[in-house]
Amino acid sequence: MAERGIALVTGAGSGIGRAVALSLLADGWSVALAGRKADTLAETARLHNDAEARTLIHATDVSEPASVDGLFASIGERFGRLDLLFNNAGTNASAAPDALSFEDWSRVVSINLTGAFLCAQGAFRMMRHQQPRGGRIINNGSISAHAPRPNSIAYTATKHAITGLTRSLSLDGRRHDIACGQIDIGNALTSMAAQMQSGVPQASGEVAVEPVMHVNDVARTVMLMASLPLDTNIQTVTVMATAMPFVGRG
């Protein structure tokens, strides 16, 4: 199998991050697996038969600059370069605006936004100086980058901010051969989205079951973005369960 390059996936211990990491490994990429828990990252690696030689497991708190610096130092020591970052780590806090604690607000912002920035910054620094130079950053946005769900002010604010992060990285990366795009995902069936099948609050105030899609279809979309040459970029793509109540009036 041809070597595709070196990728970093954050939040690789479960859900979308795990599905994308496994798809990259299957396609011949070497993959740095980052997340809070080394044991779940190791479980991801074990799910691919010959992954040991092509994986780096690094427990990382993306909200902490020193932890992110350690991650990129390990990537440099192990692989010598980075061709792809899938900026995926994220969390949520469900509460009405007047009930959300400052601690929960800060936690969501520090992981979803500051963490994405720190990882993008580390990737940018490596990609602009390596030879051959350049690479690709794919940020995990969300349907919430377009429209909020009830009681999701922290999550929605960070995902709108990810769009600004993506656009700035895309602009500033041009002269360094760094492409940056965003994938906005709706109702991929992960543990975080499992509640969709039992019912979630709607804008009308009702609670309704929503359609979901297989997480592997998200991975297929990321793989398409990752497969393009650096002079071509998918700036923004939305992949969603077809019948979810997002377009129009639901």
DSSP for 9-27 reads: EESTTSHHHHHHHHHHHHT
Catalytic residue flag (residue 62)? no
Cα atoms in the 13 Å half-sphere on the side-chain side of 134: 13
CB 210 within 8 A of CB 34: no
pLDDT in tens, the chain (250 residues): 557 899 999 999 999 999 999 999 999 999 999 999 999 999 999 999 877 789 999 999 999 999 999 999 999 999 999 999 999 999 999 999 999 999 999 999 999 999 999 999 999 999 999 999 999 999 999 999 999 888 999 999 999 999 999 999 999 999 999 999 999 999 898 877 777 777 888 888 888 888 899 999 999 999 999 999 999 999 999 999 999 988 876 5
The predicted model scores a pTM of 0.94
The per-residue pLDDT for 189 is 85
How much is the pLDDT for 2? Answer: 57
Which pLDDT score, from 0 to 100, does residue 201 have? Answer: 83
In sequence order, what are the residues at sequence separation of 6 or more whose Cβ sits closer than 8 angstroms to the Cβ of residue 118?
A: 62, 63, 65, 68
Catalytic residue among 10, 145, 155, 158: 155
85: nearest Cα among 27, 30, 131, 136:
136
- Measured from the Cβ of residue 248, the count of other Cβ atoms closer than 10 Å reads 5
**27 φ/ψ angles, rounded to the nearest 5 degrees:** -90, 0
| Residue 68: per-residue pLDDT | 98
| Domains assigned to the chain | 6-240 (3.40.50.720)
- The pair of three-digit structure tokens given for residue 21, joined into one six-digit string: 């990491």
